[in-house]
Chains A and B, each alone.
Chain A
């Protein structure tokens, strides 16, 4: 893996020496031990690795949801690790989108209200054309007046994706977005994510356990024990499985 010292203009996210330690002293857990990552603009990146390897932690740090113990994260030209809470919140609001494993829709709002919520929080007007594009691409047209409790898991996750994209963020982060879905609904969600990269020009970073889900991405980063342990370009389910097997073999050597 080559280190790029000069950020190329195409890099949407950059992390250097990213370290995260939970707790202190005896009980300290080193979730990340100096990770360097570059994510290109307009790329669909998947992060994989064994349970407890630090995938979620990395995603949180890249998205500005949590502070790093050491190291830096840049979103475009902005250094996240130097921002205060309010500035970070603004940045999340205006430039980042999230898709959660548990959907995290607000139960008292309808699908439409959930989708437009980030704009309301920002006090920004709704771009109707963009909203309609999202709704029709995601096939939510006849479900807009329903509350989350009246939607299936796949539909809820599609609402969550629309909510993540409605502000036209620079980057969308997704932590196991298909973890709670069956394979058909999962495939729908993943193909939409890929569409939004190909056709809408978004940058997406996704954590997943599923090799066939990872195969939708342009690139797979393998994480083991808080360090980058592999980088697969143009993955297929087979190449991903092979990479994971290699990791496991590495583990057994230790």
Chain B
């Protein structure tokens, strides 16, 4: 029997390999995720450990004065003590200047956190060793001189005092990861380091938060720990071994690392689920194609169990082989990534991966298990083949009736699931968001499973309808008829795609809605992109901005519009009940303001005789939109109509302000950035201009930078999530190709007949292209639609605390998904079409 299984596998090797790709990708995904998790954990551990050098013990959460350090060094068994707190200095060289973290030499070389890669570590007080990158920046090498500047602040000084010294570079040091964010650590002698730190403490006595300790050879670590703890008794100080301390540091960081790995493994599970559908389909087709062979075996006396075992053995072998290939692929990918990153970034990643048994075994087991599980149903189908089937002419078209139970199950799941979603939304608004989220997720999962279970019913129906849109040509009609021939098969194929697309669409819709909601929130909180405001040094009110500054700033690259704004400080607004509030009112030309305000509603609300009020002012006065309020200024009283109560600040037009406080200085400049302009560089340019200003002090508030940052975080997260889910979509596409090729193989005789009765190659090819397109489109369209609904509901629940959720459809992303589906559907038909059109028409006449 095993011999027969192997022979059959060899015959279908191409088809099995195609299905195996799905499992391979899934297993590679799992292996790569586990490996990356290991790499991340190791990187954080190394980073945490490196700063301690080869210390035996690490003291943290201490308050160690110099005397304490001396006392520690005198403890029995302690060889050396090195404080771990670092100071900093500004260094200047011929090439420029740089700020570096500075550490002192340790008494015991084992405690030096860095080692010299070139030259040596400083031995005299006029020597310094620099990180290579800093040396490059300063334009110096070994033997060159650099100037250091350390600032100290005297107790009541308004200006810092600079302390200069000249040092000779004696060595270059590597940059251990712990100091990475500072660009590495420069090393000076112990006394220089102490002096500089003392300067920056402004004359107070320096105390250290942490220190590392080496022990004399032969000293028991436990005893030394006890003695040190006794010495530092009662201050909440922790004494740990280096490894304990590194593990504790790493744990703080890697809690999130493993959480991240868990999430990514979730995506891998989705990919594997999709792969299992592809496998199930492939085996179903294989069993259907082998009906005759299987029946013949039954005729000559094979038992049902033997046939079933044959299919399962086949699945196990396939699962093992492709999972192993997947593990190799995953390992290769991560190693390649490490190699590339090692060359291009300064992040101290390990140069090679660390293999653990889990990295190999988990994907291998999971991949094989998924394959075998997926083949269970087809294996059962194999046992149902009656011996008589060998005698009947092969009829590959299946007209199974799908069970009533299945229909009921699907219907109930969808209805209950939809109810859960609605309940989730209600709970989130009325009670608590987390509870609503749980209920909503449950509802979403149930309804999704329902839709999947019911795929056998809706996929063929939808295909037929879509097919009718494809036109009345013979190719299109043939495609539509072929696509729905085997409802179960096409339902699984489309279903696999449907899972991936739904999740992608859900994520991007949710993210788009969240972004849109926050954008409208931001619009009312931060009405303009950039604000320049002259800052008053006393209480007389802010001075006007110089007009040449206004011109210069308006000319900056990326600035699209500007409005000069007057600021009237402390006008009095009286509410209907006589309540009075002092309000700072901003005023500008209505047209100019309309050009810079982000919220179009606010711009429209601005006109002569009106006032826009902030939320809190409006609330304390008890006024609403449409009310009229008297506003009192130094130059008069005006009755103004309130046209907005959600503005970030009180606003009127210039001519309105003229009647209240015509002398208010034009102290603000509001800017709008061009769409697509980089806010960070624009704001930096503006800061360069204002920094050069000597007459007034100008504060630049880059609201756009904040918003861009927020946007970038959301975009990056979304890209990562969509990328990971994209793997599932790719696997599903492999499934579409595979199913289509298998179907085409089954239809060899039909293809030949069609060619014999006059169908051209081009017609046959386009028929298959349409078929591929239909199958791909059904899964994609329904998936996108359902994804939008889930995304919306999800956003609604997550943002239930926000007043109004703005629902958005990410048309661009969905369009992209659709485009990919169309392309993949067409692509999926290329190979099958080649084999179909190559079938000579003579084969239609051949008897078997």
Given contacts A121-B474, A123-B473, contact A85 B761 (CB under 8 A): yes
CB of B844 within 8 A of CB of A90, answer: no
A238 smallest CB distance to B (angstroms) = 29
Q: Closest Cβ of chain B: how far from A18's Cβ, in Å?
A: 15
The answer to whether B648 has its CB under 8 Å from any CB of chain A is no
In the complex, the answer to whether A104 meets B844 with C-beta atoms within 8 Å is yes
Q: Is the CB of A104 within 8 A of B753?
A: yes
Question: How near does chain B come to A147, taking the closest CB pair, in angstroms?
Answer: 8
A122 to B481, CA, bound (A): 18
Looking at A5-13, A106-114, A134-142, A226-234, the stretch in contact with chain B turns out to be A106-114
Across the interface, which residues of A come within 8 angstroms of B474, CB to CB?
Answer: 117, 120-121, 123
**Binary interface encoding of chain A residues 163-195 relative to chain B, with 1 for a CB under 8 A from any of its CBs, else 0:** 110010000000100000000000000000000
Contact A100 B845 (CB under 8 A): yes
Instruction: Return the CB mask of A108-152 against B: 1 if under 8 Å, else 0.
Output: 110000000110111100000000000000000000000001000
A102 within 8 A of B: yes
Segment of A70-78, A91-99, A240-248 engaged in the interface with chain B: A91-99
Q: Which A residue sits closest to B756, measured CB to CB?
A: A98
A117 to B481, CA, bound (A): 13
A86–B753 contact, CB under 8 A?
no
In the complex, chain A residues whose CB is within 8 Å of the CB of B845: 56, 59-60, 65, 98, 100-101, 175
Bound complex: CA A175 to CA B843 (Å): 12
Given contact pairs A65-B845, A66-B842, A108 touches B481 in the complex (Cβ within 8 A): yes
Contact B840 A66 (CB under 8 A): yes
Q: How far is the CA of A120 from the CA of B482 in the complex (A)?
A: 16
B842 touches A92 (CB 8 A): no
* Cβ 8 A contact of B757, one of A86, A108, A117: A117
Would A65 and B847 count as touching, CB distance under 8 A? no
- List residues of B (743-764) whose CB comes within 8 Å of A's CBs: 749-750, 753-763
Are the C-beta atoms of A94 and B758 separated by less than 8 Å? Answer: yes
Residues from chain B with Cβ under 8 Å of A117 in the complex: 474, 757
> What is the chain A residue whose CB lies nearest that of B753?
A104
Determine whether B841 belongs to the interface, using a CB cutoff of 8 Å to chain A. yes
Contact with A along B826-848 (1 / 0, CB 8 A): 00000000000000111011010
Whether a CB of chain A sits under 8 angstroms from the CB of B393 is: yes
Who on chain A is nearest to B763 by CB?
A: A121
Contact B397 A108 (CB under 8 A): yes
Taking a contact as CB atoms under 8 Å apart, the answer to whether B760 and A65 are in contact is: no
Chain B residues positioned under 8 Å from A104 (CB to CB): 749-750, 753, 756, 844
Residue of A nearest to B398 (CB): A107
Contact status B758-A65, CB under 8 Å: no
User: Closest Cβ of chain A: how far from B133's Cβ, in Å?
Assistant: 67
Q: How far is the CA of A118 from the CA of B373 in the complex (A)?
A: 44
How many whole Å from B487's CB to the nearest CB in chain A? 12
Q: In the bound complex, what is the Cα–Cα distance between A92 and B393 (angstroms)?
A: 27
The answer to whether B750 and A92 have CB atoms under 8 Å apart is: no
Query: How far apart are the CA atoms of A96 and B842 in the complex, in Å?
Result: 14
The reply to whether the CB of B485 lies closer than 8 angstroms to some CB of chain A is yes
- CB of B397 within 8 A of CB of A90, answer no
User: Interface readout for B672-711 with A: 1 if CB under 8 Å, 0 if not?
Assistant: 0000000000000000000000000000000000000000
CB distance from A191 to the nearest CB of B (A): 23
A121 touches B842 (CB 8 A): no
- Contacts A108-B485, A121-B474: A100 and B844 contacting too (C-beta < 8 A)? yes
Q: In the complex, which of the residues A59, A93, A102 contacts B758, with contact meaning CB atoms closer than 8 Å? A: A93
Measured in the bound complex, the distance between the Cα atoms of B762 and A179 in whole Å is 33
Closest CB in chain B relative to A173 CB, distance in Å: 9
- Which residues B412-431 have CB closer than 8 A to chain A? none
Please name all residues of chain B whose beta carbon is closer than 8 Å to the beta carbon of A164 when the two chains form the complex: 757
A121 to B759 alpha-carbon distance, docked (Å): 6
Q: Are B395 and A107 in contact (CB under 8 A)?
A: yes
Q: Is the CB of B397 within 8 A of A92?
A: no
- Check A100/B753 contact, CB under 8 A, given A60-B842, A120-B474: yes
Q: How many residues of B contact A (CB 8 A)?
A: 31
Given A107-B397, A121-B474, A123-B474, check contact A89 B755 (CB 8 Å).
Answer: yes
- Asked whether, in the complex, the Cβ of A90 is within 8 Å of the Cβ of B760, the reply is yes
Enumerate B277-320 residues with CB–CB distance to A below 8 Å.
none
CB within 8 Å of A: which B704-761 residues: 749-750, 753-761
Residue B477 is within 8 A (CB to CB) of chain A in the complex? yes
- Whether B758 and A122, one on each chain, are in contact in the complex, defined by CB atoms closer than 8 angstroms, is yes
Q: Are A106 and B750 in contact (CB under 8 A)?
A: yes
Q: Give A52 to B484 CA distance when docked, in angstroms.
A: 40
Least CB separation from A180: chain B residue? B393
Distance, CA A118 to CA B754, complexed state (A) = 8
Interface-central residue, B395, B473, B484, B844, by most chain A CB under 10 Å: B844
Chain A residue at minimum C-beta to C-beta distance from B475:
A121
Distance of B352 from chain A, by nearest CB (Å): 55
Is there contact, CB below 8 Å, between A89 and B842?
no
Whether the Cβ atoms of B758 and A92 lie closer than 8 Å is yes
A58, chain B: closest CB distance, angstroms = 12
Closest to A85 in B: B761
Name which of A98, A163, A164 has the most chain B CB atoms within 10 A of its CB.
Answer: A98
A65 touches B841 (CB 8 A): yes
| Beta-carbon contact of B749 and A89 below 8 Å | no
CA distance A108 to B750 in the complex (A): 11
Whether the pair B758, A118 counts as a contact (CB closer than 8 A) is yes
- Which residues of chain B have C-beta atoms less than 8 A from A106's C-beta? 481, 750, 753-754
A186 to B118, CA, bound (A): 99
> Bound state CA distance, A122 and B845, in angstroms?
21
Distance from A29 Cβ to chain B, minimum over Cβ atoms (Å)? 15
State the CA gap A101–B756 with chains docked (Å): 14
Q: What is the 8 Å Cβ interface bit string for chain B, positions 208-229, against chain A (1 contact, 0 not)? A: 0000000000000000000000
Verify B754–A121 contact, CB threshold 8 A: yes
A86 with B749: CB separation less than 8 A = no
Enumerate chain A residues within 8 angstroms of B763, measured Cβ to Cβ.
121
User: Given A107-B395, A120-B477, do A163 and B757 touch, yes or no (CB 8 Å)?
Assistant: yes
In the complex, chain B residues whose CB is within 8 Å of the CB of A120: 473-474, 477
A98 touches B477 (CB 8 A): no
Which residues of the other chain, A, contact B755 by a CB distance below 8 angstroms?
89
Q: How far is the CA of A163 from the CA of B10 in the complex (A)?
A: 39
Q: Which residue of B lies closest to A101 (CB)?
A: B847
Using A100-B753, A102-B847, A120-B474 as known contacts, say yes or no to A108 and B758 having CB atoms under 8 A apart: no
A89 surroundings in chain B (CB, below 8 A): 755, 758-761
In the assembled complex, the Cα of A102 lies from the Cα of B474 at a distance in Å of 23
Docked complex Cα distance between A154 and B847 (Å): 17
Q: How far is the CA of A60 from the CA of B488 in the complex (A)?
A: 38
Give the docked Cα–Cα distance between A107 and B399 (Å): 10
Q: Are A108 and B761 CB-contacts (below 8 A) given A66-B842, A100-B845, A102-B393?
A: no
Partner of B756, one of A90, A92, A109, A122: A92
List, in ascending order, chain A residues with CB within 8 A of B756's CB.
65, 92, 98, 100, 104
Q: Which of B477, B482, B840, B841 has the most CB of A within 10 A?
A: B841
Output the nearest chain B residue to A89 by Cβ-Cβ distance: B760
Q: Which residues of A contact B847 (CB under 8 A)?
A: 101-102
Contacts of B484 in A (CB 8 A): 108
Asked whether, in the complex, the Cβ of A108 is within 8 Å of the Cβ of B760, the reply is no
Q: Which of B485, B760, B841 contacts A86 (CB 8 A)?
A: B760
A117 to B758, CA, bound (A): 10
What are 14 A-B interface contacts by the 8 Å CB criterion?
A86-B761, A92-B757, A93-B758, A98-B845, A100-B844, A106-B753, A107-B397, A108-B485, A109-B481, A118-B758, A121-B474, A149-B395, A149-B399, A175-B845
Q: A89-B755, A90-B760 are in contact. List 9 more A-B contacts (CB 8 A).
A: A60-B842, A65-B756, A92-B758, A92-B841, A101-B847, A106-B753, A106-B754, A118-B758, A123-B474
Identify the A interface with B (CB < 8 A). 56, 59-60, 65-66, 85-86, 89-90, 92-94, 96-98, 100-102, 104, 106-109, 117-118, 120-123, 149, 163-164, 167, 175
Binding site for A on B (CB under 8 A): 393, 395-397, 399, 473-474, 477, 481-482, 484-485, 749-750, 753-763, 840-842, 844-845, 847
Which 7 residue pairs spanning A and B have beta carbons closest together? A93-B758, A107-B397, A120-B474, A104-B753, A121-B474, A108-B481, A89-B760
